[in-house]
Amino acid sequence: MPFAQFSETEQQALLQAARQAQRAAYAPYSHYRVGAAVLDERGRIHAGCNVENAAYPEGLCAEAAALAAMVLAGGTRARAVLVAGSGGKGNRGWTTPCGGCRQKLREFGDPDLAILTASQDHTGPHYTLAQLLPESFGPDHLNPG
């Protein structure tokens, strides 16, 4: 098993939480609904959905919302994240975190953080954060030793 950070049961719980969050997404402009679920260091799951805004740049990504929920609940580290998106032709149906969210995930996850994907109907590929954000800049750069 490539990822030891989470169990099959936790993966199924992440998928369920992300899909439930996806259904709650507020995406009246793009209709691109995304749900994300983060597994924290205590095995708890925190979900978030995208929230668009008429002033487009003010929209919020699902991953950022899920991380905020984790922080609110006292979580400090992400062990895994699952992103459920409706996808499009260009990405075969699954969604990966945008560049900004990859950096946000780096704040709470190590380079080996598991990033799982799912489309509307299927689970997609798994990645590590290092694959999606190689040679990343993280908190350890500001707090050496």
- Whole-angstrom CA distances from 86 to 1, 48, 131, 136 are 27, 15, 22, 28
Based on CB atoms, which residue is closest to Zn ion, 1 or 55?
A: 55
Please list the active-site residues.
Answer: 63
Q: Where are the beta strands (DSSP E) in 1-145?
A: 34-40, 45-49, 78-85, 114-118, 123-128
- Closer Cβ to Zn ion, 17 or 61, answer by number: 61
Which residues bind to Zn ion, rule: CB under 5 A? 61, 98, 101
Which CB atom, from 67 or from 101, has the smaller least distance to Zn ion? 101
Smallest separation (angstroms) from Zn ion to the CB of 34: 8
CB 35 within 8 A of CB 46: no
In angstroms, what is the minimal distance from the CB of 103 to Zn ion? 9
